[in-house]
Structure 1
C-alpha cells in the first residue's frame, strides 16, 4: 500500500492498494461516519464493481443509492448532468452525505461536477477503475462536462475528500483502455520523470503498477499543491493536450482521449525539435514506446482542420494559446504563442 497526501484547498489522501474495494465501507465510516452514499457510475463498471462496493458500504451501516448511465462521451453532457442533480435531490442527499465516482474519467468528471454544484458542495470520493483515472483524472480537482462547442467547457475546481485507488481493477481492462492510461503515464515521464518513461519504454508498467501510480500521483500532487487553479506550472500537465484535444474534436470524439494525447505528444515533440526548442529529438523514442501499447502516433487530419478545432480549446487566453513542449525526456516548458502562429506549430508537428 502507498498513500499520497494532497494539500491543495482541501487536504486528502490518495490510497493506492490492490483489493481495497471490499473495504470501502469501513474506510468511509472511519473517515466520515455512517452516511448516505450515492454511487455514480457507468453501465460497464456497474456490472463489474458496484456489487462489491455496495455490499461493503451496507455491511458498514451506510445507506446506498446508485445512479448508472450509458458508457461514452454522450453521458458527459448537460442533460445527464442535470438528471444526476435531480436524482440527488429526489433521494434527499444532504451536504453531509457522500457522492462516490466509481469508474474512469467520465464518471469522475460528471460526478465531481455534481458534487461541486449540488447544495453548493457535498463530500466527494473518487474510486478510479481505469489506469487513466488512477494516474491522472481522479486527482487534482478538475471536474467538467462537455458542451456542444467542445470538451470540458463547463466545470469547477473541486478537490475530492478521498481517493481509493484499487489497482486490481486494472486487470480486467481491455487492452485499448489500459493503453489510454499508458499515454498519461508517458506524459508524466516526459514532463518530469525519465525513470517513469524508462519503465514504459521497457514495457514494465504492469510489473510495477503501484510504483507507477504512486509516482504519477506524486508528480501531480506536487504540481497541484503549487498551482491548483491551473494558472501556471499546472499547465505542464497539458503536454500533448492542445494538439490532442484538437484531434479529438476533429474526430467528433470517435478517437479516445489517450489515443489523441499520444498523437499530440508526438506532434509536440516534432514541433519542439524542428523549431529549435529541444535539446534532443525525443520523437523516435516516444513513438517506439507508444507503439508498444498499440497507441497511434500519426495525425490523420490536416492542419486547417486542427486549427479550427484548437480555437475552442479552454487553454486559449484571448489571442494567446499555451503549448507544452519538451526540452528532453523528463523536462518540458510552457510556450505561449499568438493564435496567428498556431499554424506554424501544427505544421511543424505533422
Structure 2
C-alpha cells in the first residue's frame, strides 16, 4: 500500500493506493467519525452487481444504506441527483452521516455533489473502481451535467479520504482502461516530462498492464494532481492546467452525446489537437508523429469522430468553464511540463479544426 497526502486550504486528507486497501476502510471511518449515524453507499448498477456485497462486508459493523444509479454518463443528471437526495431523506441521513462514493468518475462526481448539497454539506469518502477516477476522485470537484454543458452544475467539496483498491480494477473492460489512462498521460504531459518518457517506454499494451506499472502510474498521477490542487483548490489559477485536452474533449463528448465516446478517449483527441495548436501558437517543439503512433498502438483514436462540424464544436467550447466573454481559452504547452492558458481566436480555431 502507498499513501499520498492531499493538502488544500480547506482540508488535508489521505489517498490510500494498493490491492486490498478497503480492508482498512471500517477502522478509518470509526476513528474519524466517532459519532457516525448512517453510511450511504452510492454506486452504479455495474459496480454494484460485481462488488457491492464485498464492500458492505468491509463495513459490516456500521449502519449502511445503499443506492444504485444507472451505469454511464447519463447518471450525472438532475433526475438521478434528485433521486439520490430523495433516498437520503427517506433514510433520514443527518449531519452525522457519511456518503461513500463507490464507482468510477461518474458516481464520484454525482455522489460528491449529493454530499456537498445535502443539509448544506456532509462528509464523503471516495472508493474509486476505475483508472479514470484516479483523477476525478482527488481534488474535490463534484458536479452533474446539463444538456448545454458537461460538469456545469456542481461544487468544490473535498473528500475525507480516498481508498483506491486496485482489486476493483481487475474487471475493467479495455475501453474503460483506455479512458482512464488518458488522464495519466495528461498528468505526465503537463507536469513531468520524465514520467511521460517512462510511461511511453513501459506502457505498450493497455490490455496487459502489470500491477506494478499500473500502481506507479496511478500514484504519480495522483501526486501531480495533488501538487496542483494544493496550490489552487478552486481553479482560480494553475488548476485550470488540469483541463489540458478537455476544452475540445468536452465539446466532442457533448456533440456525440454523453456516453457515446468515453471521456478519456475524447480527451486524448483534445490533447492531440492542443499539441498541434501549441506548435502553432507557442512554438512547442514536440515529436507529434511519435506521440500519435504510440497512442494508436494503445488503441486510441487521434482524429475527430466523423460528422462533427467545427462551428458546432466551437459553440460548445465557448460554454467551457475557462471561457470568458465567449472567448475560448485553451491550455497549451510551451514545452512539455510547462502549460499556460491562451485565448485563441474563433478564426484560428475554425481553421485548425477544419484541418484536424
Per the shorter chain, which TM-score range?
Answer: over 0.9
Which runs of structure 2 are paired with 1:139-158 in the superposition (5 Å)? 139-158=138-157
User: Is the partner of 1:290 in helix, strand or coil?
Assistant: helix
Looking at structure 2, the residues matched to 316 and 31 of structure 1 have their Cα atoms a distance apart, in angstroms, of: 40
Q: Which residue of 1 aligns with 2:206?
A: none
Q: Report what 2:187 is aligned to.
A: 188
> Per-residue CA shift, 1:234-267, capped at 9, x if unaligned?
0110110001111111111211101100101011
Contact preservation (8 Å) 1:146, 1:152: yes
Cα-to-partner distance string for 1:296-335 (whole Å, 9 max, x where unaligned)? 1011223223112222222212133320112233332221
Secondary structure, aligned partner of 1:93: coil
Aligned residues: 345
Aligned counterpart in structure 2 of residue 230 of structure 1, from 235, 239, 262: 235
- Give the match for residue 265 of structure 2: 259
Q: Please give the per-residue CA displacement for 1:23-60, whole angstroms capped at 9, x wherever unaligned.
A: 322222222235411000000101112111101111xx
Bigger mean CA offset, 43-52 vs 104-113: 43-52
What TM-score do you get using the length of structure 1 for normalisation? Answer: 0.94
2:318 is the alignment partner of 1:311: yes
Which is further off, 285-294 or 200-209? 200-209
Q: 1:294 aligned to 2:299?
A: yes
Contact 2:319 2:326 in 1 (8 A): no
Q: 8 Å contact 1:193–1:329 — kept in the other structure?
A: yes
1:71: Cα distance to partner? 0.7
Deviates more, 1:235-244 or 1:2-11: 2-11
Could you tell me how far apart the structure 1 residues matched to 2:37 and 2:202 are? Answer: 42
Report if the CA contact (8 A) 1:101-1:126 is conserved: yes
2:89 alignment partner in structure 1: 89
CA offsets, 1:109-162, max 9 Å, x none? 00000000000010110000100102x000001000011212111000111111
TM-score computed with the length of structure 2 as normaliser: 0.92
Corresponding residue SS for 2:227: helix
The aligned residue for residue 333 of structure 1 is 340
- Is residue 37 of structure 1 aligned with residue 39 of structure 2? yes
- Displacement of 1:276: 4.3
Q: Is the 8 A contact 1:323 1:334 kept in 2?
A: yes
> Is the alpha carbon distance of 1:81 and 1:109 closer, same or farther for their aligned partners in structure 2, counting shifts above 3 Å?
same
| 1:339 CA drift (Å) | 5.2
Contact kept? 2:101, 2:127, Cα under 8 Å: yes
Moved more, 111-120 or 253-262: 253-262
Residues 239 and 323 in structure 1, CA contact (< 8 A), matched pair in contact too: yes
Match of 2:96, SS state, is coil
2:174 matches 1:175: yes
Cross-structure match for 2:62? 62
In 2 relative to 1, CA 185–172 (structure 1 residues): closer, same or farther, beyond 3 Å?
Answer: same
Deviation per CA, 1:145-194: give whole Å up to 9, x if none: 01121211100011111111112221211111011011101101110112
1: distance between equivalents of 2:251 and 2:176? 20
Find the residue that maps to 1:202 and give its secondary structure. helix
Match of 1:128 in 2: 128
Question: Structure 2 CA distance, aligned partners of 1:181 and 1:119?
Answer: 32
Residues 240 and 263, structure 1, Cα contact 8 Å, conserved in 2: yes
The question of whether the paired residues in 2 share the 8 Å contact of 1:282 and 1:329 is answered with no
Q: Is the 8 A contact 2:317 2:328 kept in 1?
A: no
Q: Counterpart in 2 of 1:105? A: 105
SS in 1 for 2:59: helix
Q: Deviations over 1:36-88 (max 9, x none)?
A: 11000000101112111101111xx2101000011122211001101101110
Contact 2:318 2:326 in 1 (8 A): no
Contact persistence 1:26–1:56 (CA under 8 A): no
Structure 1 unaligned regions, length at least 5 = none
Rounded to whole Å, the distance in 1 between the matches of 2:239 and 2:346 is: 21
